[in-house]
């Protein structure tokens, strides 16, 4: 060793110093540094994992938020649709009720008007009878049998002669309902006689309705099904006009 220029003792001391330094560095420096690095590595990995989880959570939250918004929008649209439908239904019901009420009021007013017209025409019938008798007496200068005059006037307006509706004699009638039109309202007794005669022809199961039309002047117009029996004064005058023409 001396020939090589090495001092064995010194070399051993150096080796021992190196080993001591190595052990010290390994125990007090290297291992703590490795531990710190491992912790740092783990912290970084955990941070990355946390970031990934957070990103997934945010993505899920965004998807959930979109779903909630879509559901809310759909529910809102459904609510609006239902509200619109309810509003339309209520509006239609109100409209129908208003129209029904208007029809009811119009029909009631029309019925009242018809009743008032019939009342006035009934009063007029009595006045016409009185005027007719007075005119007859004035023309011939003598008083005729008042009972006979009134009977003639009643026959003129009711179309009933000798207690029967002569218009339906020898006529084949059939149907479920009949409509009788007179120039002036018929009395209850006249209506009963007319109804009895008509039902004897078309059957007791049928119905008979009465209406007033001053335009026919006198007599009766009877409609049964598609058949019309015109015994009115206006109809007779029109027939006479055509014959003369």
pLDDT for position 128: 62
Q: What confidence tens digit (pLDDT) does each residue in 85-142 have?
A: 888 888 888 888 888 888 888 887 777 777 776 777 666 666 665 555 555 555 454 4
pLDDT of residue 84: 86
Q: What is the pLDDT of residues 31-85, one digit of tens each?
A: 777 778 888 888 888 888 888 888 888 888 888 888 888 888 888 888 888 888 8
**In the structure encoding, which two tokens stand for residue 161, read together?**
């002669």
pLDDT band at 208 (very low <50, low <70, confident <90, very high): very high
* Predicted pLDDT at 87: 85
**Tens digit of each residue's pLDDT (9 = 90 or more) over 154-167:** 777 777 887 788 87
pLDDT digits (tens, 9 = 90+) for 174-192: 888 999 998 888 888 889 9
The residue count of the chain comes to 245
Report the distance separating Cα 135 and Cα 139, nearest Å: 6
Question: What is the arithmetic mean of pLDDT over 140-153?
Answer: 61
Q: Using an 8 Å Cβ cutoff, are 225 and 201 in contact?
A: no
Q: pLDDT at residue 23 above 80?
A: no
Q: Where are the domains of the chain?
A: 1-114, 145-244
Burial 170-200 (b: 16+ CB within 10 A, else e): eeebebeebbbbbbbbbeeebbebbbebbee
Residue 152 has pLDDT above 80, yes or no: no
> What pLDDT is recorded for position 126?
61
H helical segments located in the chain: 8-24, 31-140, 146-158, 188-202, 233-244
For range 227-239, the mean pLDDT: 85
**Which H or E run contains 207?**
strand 207-212
Identify the band that residue 6 occupies on the pLDDT scale cut at 50, 70 and 90.
low
């Amino acid at each position: 060793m001396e020939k090589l220029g090495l001092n064995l003792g010194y070399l051993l001391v150096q080796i021992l110093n190196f080993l001591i330094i190595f052990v010290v560095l390994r125990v007090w420096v290297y291992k703590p540094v490795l531990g710190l690095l491992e912790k740092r590595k783990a912290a970084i990995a955990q941070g990355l994992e946390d970031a990934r989880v957070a990103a997934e959570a945010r993505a899920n939250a965004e998807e959930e938020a979109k779903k909630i918004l879509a559901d809310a929008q759909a529910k809102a649209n459904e609510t609006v649709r239902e509200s619109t439908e309810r509003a339309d239904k209520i509006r239609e019901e109100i409209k129908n009720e208003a129209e029904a009420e208007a029809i009811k009021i119009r029909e009631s007013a029309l019925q009242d008007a018809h009743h008032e017209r019939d009342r006035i025409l009934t009063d007029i019938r009595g006045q016409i009878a009185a005027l007719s008798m007075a005119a007859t007496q004035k023309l011939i200068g003598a008083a005729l049998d008042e009972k006979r005059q009134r009977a003639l006037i009643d026959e003129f307006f009711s179309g009933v002669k000798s207690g029967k509706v002569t218009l339906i004699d020898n006529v084949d009638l059939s149907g479920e309902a009949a409509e009788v039109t007179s120039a002036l309202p018929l009395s209850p007794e006249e209506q009963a006689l007319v109804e009895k005669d008509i039902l004897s022809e078309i059957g007791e199961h049928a119905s008979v309705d009465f209406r007033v039309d001053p335009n026919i002047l006198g007599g009766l117009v009877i409609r049964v099904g598609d058949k019309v029996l015109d015994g009115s004064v206006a109809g007779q005058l029109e027939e006479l006009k055509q014959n003369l023409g």
